[in-house]
Amino acid sequence: MKQKLIITLYALTTNAAAFAGTAFVNVNIITMTDESIVRGQTVIIEGRVIEAMGPVESVPVPGDALVVDGTDRYLLPGLAEMHAHVPEAESPDLERVLALFAANGVTTIRGMLGHASHLQLRRQLLDGEIFGPRLITSGPSLNGNSVSGPLDAEQKVRSQHAAGYDFIKIHPGLTASEYARIATTAKELGMPFAGHVPVAVGVEGALDAGMATIDHLDGYLAALMPSDSDPSGGYGGFFDVLLAGQLIEGRIAAIAGRTAESVTWNVPTEALFEHRVADIPITDLQNRPEMRYVPKATAEQWLRTRERQQNERGFSPAIATRAVAIRRKLILALHDAGAGLLLGSDAPQVFNVPGFSAHHELAFLVAAGLTPFEALQTGTTAVAHFLGSNTGVVAVGRDADLLLLDADPLEDIANTRRIHGVMLRGIWYPARDLDRRLTVYRQQDD
């Protein structure tokens, strides 16, 4: 009778705004504080935080709460996408991109190509004026085209800090002196800088400079080249894939250990790399269900980009296979050495559909040797530690950015895609409502 009452109440509660709070009843909790599952729990959400949690028999459900049946389901923190590209506020793509992230359980995104409009967007997302994840934003990227000398580099860092951006984004092309001035100015201001590793700097230089994150494992393959090689690695193609035949795998442990000794974290974006270079049949990528949310012109552009990549002189399936294998060994070595890893796929990019690609990234991390729990840490507790946020754990007093799944992700990481609903800052969105939000973005067949 009790179970029937819960289900009936859940079926009738379609408007979360009409209720004073939310109660997940008889749910299995993956708190992410450890690898255990706490079964048969009730979790009470009031406002934007977790107010109470405990065994279903001992935690009363407020009479004015929205009741969500958690039986045979798994509650865990929402995921973070730590390398996202967010359209400008006036872009017709903005709502679609944000909705795709949120519908996939991504409750925090770090925008890695900032725009002035993102400062207001960040507040609007946090306040619930716009539907989507909370936003951590960079300023416009500092790169070889946007920076003209060390003094200009310093001025741009100070300007972005004054404007209120969360961190500095580094793109390729900076000179060693420009990068050094960015690093010293950013550290003086207490502003993180993150992204690509300039060729003139290299991984060791980036680690020494205190870079907050290195994204894409940029520069790591060049660091595995023989000692008598060009320090820049020469022309290596897309994230040095063409260097794979020359790399010394025995150097992996040393560079992983050196990274662990630094303050720098890594955002591997393995989905970006493997979707572009690995021997995945193009029809498999094109026929994925999430591609229905990608405009046809964009899908065609992604196809052309991948074709150009795989037709580049010096590229071969064998080279790509070795590059993928070495990158996976790097990911595992970084993890085993204690270097910080953060979940990020680089979306939207080539066959990386926002939100969906985060789940592919989790699968690639497991393929590299992490357990499902360890992979989930990169998108939950690790992100909370890195950002100093109140998210990332299911516990009383923590922010209510949550993900409810229909199957255990610790048993199979693919179960992160079996989404029953998502909670954004205390507001519950069941899967059916999320699906309705996405319907408008589905591409129609000609």
pLDDT tens digit string along 320-344? 999 999 999 999 999 999 999 999 9
How far apart CA 364 and CA 99 sit, in angstroms, is 24
How large is the average pLDDT for residues 148-177?
98
pLDDT at 231: 58
How far apart CA 71 and CA 247 sit, in angstroms, is 50
For the cut 80, the answer to whether the pLDDT of residue 414 exceeds it is yes
CA atoms in the 13 A half-sphere facing the CB of 368? 28
Q: Are 220 and 255 within 8 A, CB to CB?
A: yes
For the cut 90, the answer to whether the pLDDT of residue 228 exceeds it is no
Residue 231: C-alpha distances to residues 202, 224, 242, 309 (Å):
8, 10, 15, 24
pLDDT at 233: 52
* pLDDT per residue as tens digits for the range 77-118: 999 999 999 999 999 999 999 999 999 999 999 999 999 999
For the cut 50, the answer to whether the pLDDT of residue 12 exceeds it is no
Assigned architecture for domain 2-78+394-439: Roll (2.30)
The helix or strand, by DSSP H or E, that contains position 267, with its residue range, turns out to be strand 265-267
* pLDDT per residue as tens digits for the range 116-149: 999 999 999 999 999 999 999 999 999 999 999 9
How far apart CA 229 and CA 218 sit, in angstroms, is 18
How large is the average pLDDT for residues 159-184?
98
Query: Which residues lie below 8 Å from residue 256, measured CB to CB, with a gap of 6+?
Result: 330, 333, 334, 336, 337, 339
User: Which CATH number applies to 79-387?
Assistant: 3.20.20.140
For the cut 80, the answer to whether the pLDDT of residue 8 exceeds it is no
- Helices 176-189, 150-163: axis angle to 10 degrees equals 30
How far apart CA 28 and CA 43 sit, in angstroms, is 10
Q: Are 150 and 159 within 8 A, CB to CB?
A: no
- How is 190-256 classified by DSSP, letter by letter? T--EEE---TTTHHHHHHHHT-SEEETTTTTTGGGS-TTS-TT-S--SGGGGGGGGG--GGGHHHHH
Helix or strand or coil: residue 80? strand
Query: Where in the chain are the domains?
Result: 2-78+394-439, 79-387
Lowest mean pLDDT among 226-240, 314-328, 356-370: 226-240
Q: Residue 16 — very low, low, confident or very high, per pLDDT cuts 50/70/90?
A: low
Burial class (CB in 10 A: 0-12, 13-18, 19+), 378: buried
- pTM for this entry: 0.94
Equal fold, 2-78+394-439 vs 79-387: no
The helix or strand, by DSSP H or E, that contains position 51, with its residue range, turns out to be strand 49-55
pLDDT at 9: 35
Question: How many residues in the chain?
Answer: 446
The two beta strands, 38-46 and 49-55, are antiparallel
CB atoms within 10 A of CB 440: 10
Q: Are 380 and 410 within 8 A, CB to CB?
A: no
